[in-house]
Amino acid sequence: MFTVIGDIARDVNVQVAGVLPHDLVMAGDTPARIHTGLGGSATATAAWLAFRGSSVRLIGARGDDQAGTAAELDLRVLGVDPRLQVVSGAQTGTVVVLVDSTGERSMLPDPGANVALSASWCQAEMAGQHLHVSAYPWFRETTRHTIECTIESARARGMTVSIDLNSHSLVHEYVIPLVGLLDLVDVVFANTDEWRALKDQWSPPSDCFVVVKRGAAGAQWSTGDHSGSSPALPVTLVDSTGTGDAFAAGFLSTWVAGGAGADAVAAGNELAAVCATRVGPVPEHRA
C-alpha cells in the first residue's frame, strides 16, 4: 500500500485558443474550453497509482463544502482511499489552470483548507510500505512542521519515502532548509528547473535515487555511482497538467515492487505519456 500526502484541490482547467504570452493583458474575450475536476499534485499521483492497480491512501485537508464532498466521491471512483481532514468553515482548495494551444500550462492556486493540515491527522491515517509527499505543503509555513513530522514518523515505521519538489521558484527560495529534508528521503523527483535550483546546494546521499523529469526529452536518473536516461514516448501533447505526477506514479509502482531503477524510470515515462494525451491531471477511470 502507498500513502500519498499533499494538497487537495478542484481544478478549473481552461483550454485557451492560441498561445498565452507571459505578459498577458487581462482585457477582452478569449475563446476557451473549461473543464472542472480533481486537481493537485498529490491527488494526481494517487489517482495514477490506483490506475496502475496499486492500493493507495490519499491524506490531505478539505473544506466542509460541496467541492470537498465531490472530491472524496471522485477519488473513490478512481480507486483511491481518501483520508481527508475536514476543516470547518474553510473552502476546499482550487487551482485555475490555463492551458494554451501548445499544451503548456500556468497555474493560479488558492490553497483553501490545505493550510490547516495537521501532523496528528497525517500520522494517524498513514499506512503501507511507502510514503509519497508533494512538496507544496512543506513550502507553506503553516504545514511545514506537518510534513517534517510525517516523514520522520514514516522513517520510524520502516517505510520508504519519496518527494516531488513541484515548484522551481519555491525550491530556489527555500533551498537551504530543503536540503536537510531531502537527506531523509529515498527518492527525489524534480524537473529540470527544480534540479538546477537545487544541485549546487545538495549532494544526494549515496542510497538516494534522484530523477530529473525533462518533459519531451524524457528523464535522467542517478543513484550512487550509477546513472542513466530514458527517452519520453512520442505523443501529441494535449495538456501537460499532471504529467510529472503520472510519471512519479509509474516510477513508484515499479520501484516499490522491487523493479530496477531504469525500468521504473521507463514506466514513469510510459504513464506520463498517457496523461499528456488527455485534458486534466487524473485518469478518467480506474484501469
Classify the phi-psi angles of 128: left when phi > 0, otherwise alpha if psi is within -120 to 50, otherwise beta.
left
Say whether 74 is catalytic.
no
Catalytic residue among 65, 110, 245, 263: 245
44 within 8 A of 247, measured Cβ to Cβ: no
Q: How far apart are CA 103 and CA 237, in angstroms?
A: 6
Classify the phi-psi angles of 181: left when phi > 0, otherwise alpha if psi is within -120 to 50, otherwise beta.
alpha
For the annotated catalytic residues, the residue numbers are 245
